[in-house]
Amino acid sequence: MKTTLSVIKADIGSIAGHIKPSRALIDSVKECIDRQLGKLITDFYIGSTGDDVAILFCHNHGTGYGELHQLAWDAFICGTEKAKEQGLYGAGQDLLADACSGNVRGLGPAVAEMEFEEREAEPFLLFTADKTDPGAYNLPLYLGFADPMHCSGLILSPKIGRGFRFVILDVAFTEEDRVIELDAPEELYDIAALLRDNERFVVSAIYSRATGNQAAAASTTRLHNIAGKYTGKDDPVLLVRCQGDFPATGEILSPYSIGHYVAGFMRGSHTGPLMPVKMGGAISYFDGPPIVSAVGFCVHNGKLTEPVDCFDHPYWDFVREKVARKSYDMREQGFSGPAMLPYAELEYGGIVSIMDKLEKKFSR
């Protein structure tokens, strides 16, 4: 029997600004989903990263299943009601439509889904990020699946060494999905040429070339493309299956030690390094820095083990120190140059009215 993992994530309100959802909000989301345990779903997990709530569902209905998406939407509505009751900030922030009619894609929440035949042991990672956009996963996925500097399996395991197929989406094209499939290692430079542009090209899935099995699924939502204005950052989610014919868990985690600079941070308008944090982490300095958490599980017959917090280890304390330093270095230059995103990324916000006003004041 096939198992489907669906992770659906939204910001539906948080304490003290864009910081962290309340316990009561998360409980109300959980209560709503609990009622479907053993019916629509075989298991679930709820976690928060910064101000975002992610629900991981295990079920047998395949990807894009209407009733499952509806359940997530309804649970987020329950959470939004609790957020309003508590006077939380940004209640219902990411629910950009009045109602859901079977699929939350394009309505605000971020979605990543994968259906597969369970292996005897099925280890996987759930990544959730806050204060950034889907392109934040481009570099770690490239390095984890295509670079032996991080994925030693590419040279140590013949099956992994066959390489991986990257499915990349052009997120600037909103009329329909514009995708390209490229194979590593033969087309490595073409993959890099696209993935260097994190705001336009985003990895949506990765497949093993040895077996054809899916290794990764990522959310690709750009909220400003949906809302037509700035309503919050996309805060993407990612599922990665590990071990066996896929990279080892530690190879997938390895690139997060870089703390590479991504788009996001304060008002979703700046550049900051991606800090690997513990599960349930809050936001602080300059509404950031951008954060990512990694929760490890095994799934068996549709049931999840307890979660393992993969960035809760002394090694990552050292990385966090380094990333804090990188944040400070960039923040020292405030709004100048690469510290703030280019105009094309800001044009959904208030800067447009300033530019319109100044346009009239220019001499010619």
Nearest approach in angstroms of CB 193 to ligand 13P is 29
Nearest approach in angstroms of CB 65 to ligand 13P is 27
Nearest approach in angstroms of CB 270 to ligand 13P is 9
C-alpha span between 8 and 173 (Å, rounded): 22
Tell me which residues touch Mg ion (CB under 5 A): 11, 18, 50-52, 90, 130, 232, 235
Q: Is 337 exposed, middle or buried (0-12, 13-18, 19+ CB in 10 A)?
A: exposed
Contact partner at residue 250 from ligand 13P, Mg ion, none, CB < 5 to 8 Å by partner kind: ligand 13P
**Given 43, 233, 234, 326, which residue is catalytic?**
233
C-alpha span between 333 and 304 (Å, rounded): 45
Q: Which is nearer to Mg ion, 3 or 132 (CB)?
A: 132
Q: Which is nearer to ligand 13P, 126 or 129 (CB)?
A: 129
Q: Which is nearer to ligand 13P, 232 or 273 (CB)?
A: 232
Position with the least CB separation from ligand 13P: 232
Nearest approach in angstroms of CB 173 to ligand 13P is 23
Q: Which is nearer to Mg ion, 232 or 244 (CB)?
A: 232
- What end-to-end distance do the CA atoms of the chain give, in Å? 68
Position with the least CB separation from Mg ion: 18
Contact partner at residue 268 from ligand 13P, Mg ion, none, CB < 5 to 8 Å by partner kind: ligand 13P
**Given 9, 11, 65, 131, which residue is catalytic?**
11
Nearest approach in angstroms of CB 360 to ligand 13P is 29
Nearest approach in angstroms of CB 221 to Mg ion is 12
Q: Is 303 a catalytic residue?
A: no
**Given 207, 230, 256, 348, which residue is catalytic?**
230
Contact partner at residue 266 from Mg ion, ligand 13P, none, CB < 5 to 8 Å by partner kind: ligand 13P
Q: Which is nearer to ligand 13P, 233 or 260 (CB)?
A: 233
Nearest approach in angstroms of CB 49 to ligand 13P is 9
C-alpha angle with apex 361: 360 to 364, nearest 5 degrees? Answer: 80
Structure tokens, 53 = 């709530």
Contact partner at residue 255 from ligand 13P, Mg ion, none, CB < 5 to 8 Å by partner kind: none
Contact partner at residue 280 from Mg ion, ligand 13P, none, CB < 5 to 8 Å by partner kind: none
Q: Which is nearer to ligand 13P, 214 or 269 (CB)?
A: 269
Contact partner at residue 21 from ligand 13P, Mg ion, none, CB < 5 to 8 Å by partner kind: none
Structure tokens, 299 = 């799934």
Peptide bond into 185 cis (omega under 30): yes
C-alpha span between 72 and 9 (Å, rounded): 9
Q: Is 230 a catalytic residue?
A: yes
Tell me which residues touch ligand 13P (CB under 6 A): 11, 18, 50-51, 93, 130-131, 232-233, 235, 248, 250, 266-268, 287
Contact partner at residue 150 from Mg ion, ligand 13P, none, CB < 5 to 8 Å by partner kind: none
Q: Which of 305, 316, 309, 313 is nearest to 123 (CA)?
A: 305
Residues with catalytic roles: 11, 230, 233
